[in-house]
Amino acid sequence: MIEDFREYKKNWLVGKVESSELLEVVKKVKEEYRTLITISPTDFLERIELNYFFTDLESKKSLWLKTDISRENSKIESISHIFGGANWHEREAFSTFGVDFIGHPNLKHIIISSDFYGKAPFRKDFDIEAHQKEVEKHSLDIASNFEDEFSENSDTETTLNWGPTHPASGPLRLKVGVDGEEIKKVSADIGFVWRALENLIERKDFVGAITAVERICFMDNTNSMLCYAMAVEEIAGVKPTPFAEVFRVILGEVGRVSSHFMGIGGFFGTMGLHTLQMWAMDSREYFLDFLEDYSGARIATASIEAGGVRFPLNLETLNTLEKAIEYYESKRDEFHSIFLKNPMMKKRASQIGIISADEVHEFSMAGVVARASGVETDIRKDEPYSAYEKFDFKVVTKNGGSAKNRFEVIFEEIDESVKILKQAVSDIRSGVSEGTYNLEKDHLVKVPKKLPKGEAVSRVEWARGELMMHLVTEEKGKTPYRLKIKAPSFNHTMMVEKLLEGCTISDIPIVFGSMYICQGDLDR
Amino acid sequence: MSGEQLFQILVFPGMLFILVWAVFVFWFFRKLIALFHKRVGPHYNGYMGSMQTLYDFAKILTKESITPKGINPYLFSTIPILAPLLAITPVAFIPWSGVGSEIVHTEYGVLALIVFVGVEPFLLFLTGFGSNNKYSILGGIRILTQTVSMETPFFLSALAPALLFGTMNVSEIVSETTLLTSIVLFPSFILFFISVLGVLEQPPFNIPDAEQEIVYGFYTEYSGTNYLLLKIAEFSEFLVVFAMAGVLFFGGTECFFFDSFFCLLLKMLILAVLMIGIRATTPRLRVSQMLNFSWSYLLPLTLLNLAFILFAKIYIFGGVQ
Amino acid sequence: MIKVLDFFDYARSESPWMVHFCSGCCSLEMAAAMGPRYDWERYGYLPTPTPRQADVIFITGLVSKKILPVLLRTYAQMAEPSYVVALGACAFDGGPYNDSMSVIKNVTEILPADVFIAGCPPRPEAIISGLEELKAKIKRGEPSSASQGGLWKEMKF
């Protein structure tokens, strides 16, 4: 049933199926690949191509299925009853591309604001300028519908709007149906930070797209640039120098560490304790100092681009990093004894928000959340990119899958990242003294401005989990034709709805905080 | 009304004293929690930022006081007047400057203190109920739950000194306190302090105004002067319970070397440091965990403690005189 | 009497409390400004959980169409006098999302800001110095810009 079945890269298979046979194929696929990564539609003007990405977190094998549907009658069978994780991804494709998924249990618009309902804004023929002319009317409409939308109470149940201005929520709304303190039903309303990045990138050139890509989420912005750069390099057929690869690892790990610091702080913040937040922020500043020394900006670094890293490296910059590592290690034991072993935290967090390993596979959990449930998945090990193969580190896993376990995983991953950073710094130092690395010239390999026609999938281990990008280019294209971004918080927020049922109001912030969600990559 | 009475009402230990205390303790809390956070806290206004909280209070006073639509405005605005009045009243039962210096001389001082401190949460519950806000109502219900379960250990542990000394007269308790009685009463003090955290909604029992869960609980709709009055009520409650702990368990104004008001103040500040220390290191509990803790651990322990006090009274202090 | 009133005016300028509202990436740098290294509490700023007790609202970066009514509602809930601080390039003209189909480009026309802090995102030092500007504005006795005009007054939300 699968045509043109071939190997795409190591551990990756790609093939094409007829849209009518998709459901049968997917049922077979489920036996071998238990997780759906994402669904990525691409509009080719005469047809819409749907790309299904599957993976198996245990065997580390992945599959890429393509299927074509017509533009006018864009209908296809829903696979959300086979893969639970497909639910929101199908809703996203429905909202942005107008693809109708037959048999989807709850095919409502998601992410997009109400003026785009039914208009498929990401299709190539969508007239943005005409739409933007009426922006005033649209925002007035949204504003006047606002009140009705926020007051939904029935006789037996009160609806609490947890967010979007709640002190712990960030720009996201959980509609929580409560009976007293008990939660009856939760449904998430997202899209408050929707910037339509996937569409925005189509109007930027390959270098300019970096500014958009790094703004997916500022907590860890280096790894998202790395993911994009890898996709462009694959199509251009360029390989960065060994020095650039090692330095990308350094930048990526610094991004991860600074994100994890916010993560552990945020977790304790949800329980009304801000001390860890402050202490973590204190250590985080030193890592940001390094980014600032290197790129000139604290968080908006724009430091990784296709072909390598943007700036040559001054060896003294590494001293800043070493100072940051030293500072953190001098504080580490305090963190450990006061917060990781905190009895109150254990009492509150060890029984709630439990995700089993099966649910991890079923609902496409990634990164920290998956590892806390005992699933050993880490793209850095599974599909090594950059120079991660060179370095020795272990994948932190915990069994139990509770909110507490997730906190512990984040905490211990900081140590692993610091371990990688130390190795990478000494690698660069020894490379320079041996003369293999030239810091002045090696940092960037030239990538042509126009890329050939092609398609690439790149995955990196982001701070919050797997980040995947699907890049499509046209012949002699100056801009990306289509960039699909799959970010982990999307699935994690979907999971929050399930986790909270049957809990009490007190559990909302802590479960939400432990899922390590960033609204930036939730909405994109 | 004599001049002395007027002084007592308006200056010490009345209005002015309470205001100065509120301004001071707000600053003290902020500075201290900043220390735990590795920050500086208020710094640029006045010496070490000491004017900052005065500015804050003055600012809140000049802000608009909003009364939301669709509520009973009398209920909404009366409670913020009643709450500080009720919170200040027990000040009259505390001997501020030595034995016999309380304003109201009564044989039942301990009882009065307990009642006035214990009734305050019910007023705050009404603020939550009168606000017509989902979060406020939840906060109100939480206050009620917490008060009901925390107040029993509170008054049982506060009554321990009365049991030991055989009197409810606060001045007599102060004058009879020795180092030995303080040691014997130390377990009662710990239980008292824990239940006070519960009654005053302080971490780890700050469940009714849990920011991350229900915004600001019963405070959510209050602004301007009303909010200021509620805050003053909160701070004067701190004053009362700290002084109460100092007086009942540690001999009030009496120290080893000298007896004065500042001795009591020092004891109160030590308690404040202890409270902020707990606030800076302990996450908040869940409602059900608080209930469980209160009824299955704290209450039995206070009862046991009473038995221990009786035992000590008979075998260490030679029985009932 | 004049002196007493002066004191209250001065106090008002020296203790701006801000409501928690975040709609974009700049809130990350706002968190850093609260943190140990920059610690804006030194200058008397304090975050508060509810808009009722706040004096300042931050437009933290981009404002999408969906969150605009939330921003306006939160501003309207604040007690007078209330000020607006716009943070980052997005609050001015959309910044890096200028071409985006979902981001409002003229937020400060809808809700006029008293102080605009430039940067993408602005550094914590910049945020603090912007807030000092706001203090100076309050000291001069100028009314907040949002109370003087702006499209938000004609909108229903």
Task: Identify the chains in contact with B, defined as 3+ C-beta pairs within 8 A.
Answer: A, C
Coil, strand or helix at A7 = strand
Residue A444 is given by DSSP the state: B
> Which CATH number characterizes residue C21's domain?
3.40.50.12280
Of the listed ranges A297-301, B55-59, C22-26, the least confidently predicted one is C22-26
User: Does residue C55 belong to the interface with chain A, where contact is any CB pair within 8 Å?
Assistant: no
Instruction: State yes or no: pLDDT of C31 exceeds 90.
Output: no
Task: Identify the chains in contact with A, defined as 3+ C-beta pairs within 8 A.
Answer: B, C
Band of the pLDDT at A155, cuts 50, 70, 90? low
Contact yes or no for B283 and A167 at CB 8 A? no
Which residues are within 8 A (CB) of A270 and not within 5 positions of it... i.e. 6 or more apart? A168, A509, A510, A512, A513, A514, B212
Band of the pLDDT at C2, cuts 50, 70, 90? low
pLDDT of B319: 64
Average pLDDT over residues A156-185: 81
| Residue-range definition of the domain harbouring residue C15 | 2-154
Which residues are within 8 A (CB) of A116 and not within 5 positions of it... i.e. 6 or more apart? A95, A109, A131, C101, C102
Nearest to A505 among B37, B214, B281 (CB): B214
pLDDT of A325: 92
pLDDT of B191: 92
Short-list A390, A396, A461, CA closest to A426: A390
Name the burial class of residue B146, with classes exposed (0-12), middle (13-18) and buried (19+) by CB atoms within 10 angstroms of its CB. Answer: buried
Which residues of C, range 70-89, sit inside 8 Å of A by Cβ? 70, 72-74
Which residues are within 8 A (CB) of C149 and not within 5 positions of it... i.e. 6 or more apart? C112
Chain C residues closer than 8 Å to A131 by CB: 101
Average pLDDT over residues A308-316: 86
Largest CA distance in chain B: 64
Digit-coded pLDDT (tens) for A59-89: 888 888 888 888 888 888 888 888 888 888 8
Nearest to B283 among A158, A168, A268 (CB): A268
Short-list C97, C86, C32, CA closest to C60: C86
Beta pairing class for A35-43 and A48-55:
antiparallel
Angstrom distance (rounded) from CA B239 to CA B255: 19
Whole-number CA gyration radius for chain B:
20
Coil, strand or helix at A406 = helix
What are phi and psi for residue A400, nearest 5 degrees? 135, -45
Name the burial class of residue A435, with classes exposed (0-12), middle (13-18) and buried (19+) by CB atoms within 10 angstroms of its CB. Answer: exposed
Residue linked to tokens 């449930």: A373
Instruction: State yes or no: pLDDT of A314 exceeds 70.
Output: yes
Give the side-chain half-sphere CA count within 13 A for C130: 23
| Residue-range definition of the domain harbouring residue A519 | 197-523
| Helix, strand, coil distribution of chain C in percent, nearest 5 | 50, 15, 40
C77 to chain B: nearest residue by CA? B66
Chain B residues closer than 8 Å to A167 by CB: 211-212, 215
Give the side-chain half-sphere CA count within 13 A for C31: 29
Band of the pLDDT at A448, cuts 50, 70, 90? confident
Give the side-chain half-sphere CA count within 13 A for C70: 27
Task: Let me know: does B132 contact B289? Beta carbons within 8 Å.
Answer: no
**Co-location of A315 and A403 in the same domain:** yes
Digit-coded pLDDT (tens) for A191-216: 888 888 888 888 888 888 888 888 88
Residues on C contacting B at a C-beta cutoff of 8 Å:
7-8, 10-12, 14-15, 17, 35-36, 39, 41-44, 46, 48-50, 52-53, 55, 79-81
pLDDT of A326: 92
| Residue-range definition of the domain harbouring residue B102 | 68-315
Residue A178: which H helix or E strand, with range?
strand A173-179
Digit-coded pLDDT (tens) for A247-290: 899 999 999 999 999 888 888 888 888 888 899 999 999 999 99
Chain A closest CA to B306's CA: distance in Å? 28
Chain C residues closer than 8 Å to A141 by CB: none
Residues of chain B with pLDDT under 70: 1, 319-321
Coil, strand or helix at C23 = coil
Contact yes or no for A504 and B286 at CB 8 A? yes
Q: How many residues does chain C have?
A: 157
Angstrom distance (rounded) from CA C56 to CA C85: 7
Cα–chain center distance at A204: 21
Instruction: State yes or no: pLDDT of A4 exceeds 80.
Output: no
Across chain C, mean pLDDT equals 85
Name the burial class of residue A430, with classes exposed (0-12), middle (13-18) and buried (19+) by CB atoms within 10 angstroms of its CB. Answer: exposed
Rounded to the nearest 10°, the torsion over CA A231, A236, A237, A238 is: -80
More confident residue, A288 or C155: A288
Q: Strand locations in chain C, DSSP E?
A: 17-19, 46-48, 56-60, 83-87, 115-117
Q: At what angle do helices B134-158 and B109-129 cross, to 10 degrees?
A: 170
ipTM value for the complex:
0.88
Interface test with A, best of B37, B213, B290 (most A CBs within 10 A): B213
Q: How many domains does chain B have?
A: 1
Q: How many domains does chain A have?
A: 2
Task: Let me know: does C44 contact C70? Beta carbons within 8 Å.
Answer: no
Name the burial class of residue B176, with classes exposed (0-12), middle (13-18) and buried (19+) by CB atoms within 10 angstroms of its CB. Answer: middle
Angstrom distance (rounded) from CA B225 to CA B77: 10
C-beta pairs of A126-134 under 8 Å, 24+ apart in sequence: A128/A199, A128/C101, A131/C101, A132/C101
Across chain A, mean pLDDT equals 86
Of the listed ranges A455-459, A474-478, B28-32, B265-269, the least confidently predicted one is A474-478
Number of helices (H), then strands (E), in chain B: 15, 0
In a domain, A367, yes or no: yes
Q: Which amino acid is at B255?
A: C
Task: Identify the chains in contact with C, defined as 3+ C-beta pairs within 8 A.
Answer: A, B
Chain A closest CA to C36's CA: distance in Å? 6
Cα–chain center distance at B53: 19
Chain B residues closer than 8 Å to C147 by CB: none
Chain A residues closer than 8 Å to C66 by CB: 113-114, 142, 191-192, 194
- Counting one residue from B and one from C, how many pairs have CB atoms under 8 Å apart? 89
Angstrom distance (rounded) from CA A238 to CA A249: 18
> Which CATH number characterizes residue A121's domain?
3.30.460.80
Chain A residues closer than 8 Å to B134 by CB: 158, 160
Chain B residues closer than 8 Å to A164 by CB: none
Token pair in block for residue A287: 């890592």
Average pLDDT over residues A24-42: 87
Residue A336 is given by DSSP the state: I
Highest mean pLDDT (candidates A136-145, A160-169, A221-230, B10-19): A221-230
pLDDT of B321: 54
Chain B closest CA to C8's CA: distance in Å? 6
> Which CATH number characterizes residue A430's domain?
1.10.645.10
Of the listed ranges A144-148, A503-507, A519-523, B56-60, the least confidently predicted one is A144-148
pLDDT of B1: 67
Contact yes or no for A348 and B285 at CB 8 A? yes
Coil, strand or helix at B289 = helix
Q: Strand locations in A215-369, DSSP E?
A: 304-305, 308-309
Chain B closest CA to C43's CA: distance in Å? 6
Q: How many domains does chain C have?
A: 1
Digit-coded pLDDT (tens) for B199-209: 888 888 888 77
Band of the pLDDT at A151, cuts 50, 70, 90? low
Chain C residues closer than 8 Å to B216 by CB: 48-50
In a domain, A453, yes or no: yes
